[in-house]
């Protein structure tokens, strides 16, 4: 899935949460510049929930709602994504794509 950029987060749809938890996560590839192929791979890894680190572990799959507009392929060393799912995403290096790191920047959920 190729990711395009726009104002704010790409593809953000108001009310798209449908009761799920949304996260802003920061992803990288070990400190180097992130290529377009790497960001596409990370997005696909999040969407499929396939673990590259531990075949026995199955991280939850997430819907990637948007990619920050400040991301520049082959230049940026980090990229913020807006994702939605149930529990917290895995922060194990390489779980979603080879050498990819992920940290949770913010979490938004339903408050009843």
**pLDDT tens digits along 57-101:** 677 889 999 999 999 999 999 999 999 998 899 898 888 888 899
What distances in angstroms separate CA 33 from CA 1, 12, 27, 71, 84, one per listed residue?
A: 20, 25, 11, 10, 25
Give the residue carrying structure tokens 């959920």. 109
pLDDT value of residue 54: 59
Question: What is the C-alpha separation between 37 and 48, in angstroms, rounded?
Answer: 16
pLDDT value of residue 17: 47
Residues of the chain with pLDDT > 70: what percent?
Answer: 72
Q: How many Cβ atoms from other residues are within 10 Å of residue 83's Cβ?
A: 23
Question: What is the C-alpha separation between 64 and 107, in angstroms, rounded?
Answer: 14
Domain boundaries, the chain: 22-108
**Which range (12-26, 36-50, 55-69) has the least confidence?**
12-26
- Whole-prediction pTM: 0.78
Contact 3, 82 (CB under 8 A): no
Task: For residue 7, name the pLDDT band (cuts at 50, 70, 90).
Answer: very low
Mean pLDDT of 53-60: 66
Neighbour-count burial for 40-51, b at 16+ CB within 10 Å, e otherwise: ebbbebbbebbb
Contact 90, 63 (CB under 8 A): no
């Amino acid at each position: 899935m190729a990711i395009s950029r726009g104002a704010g987060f790409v593809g953000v749809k108001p009310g798209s949460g449908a009761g799920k938890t949304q996260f802003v996560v920061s992803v990288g590839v070990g400190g180097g510049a992130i290529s377009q192929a790497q960001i596409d791979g990370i997005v696909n890894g999040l969407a499929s929930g396939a673990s590259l680190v531990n075949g026995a572990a199955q991280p939850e799959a997430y819907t990637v709602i948007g990619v920050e507009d400040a991301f520049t392929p082959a230049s940026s060393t980090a990229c913020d994504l807006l994702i939605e799912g149930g529990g917290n995403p895995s922060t194990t290096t390489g779980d979603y794509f080879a050498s990819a790191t992920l940290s949770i920047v913010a979490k938004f959920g339903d408050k009843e």
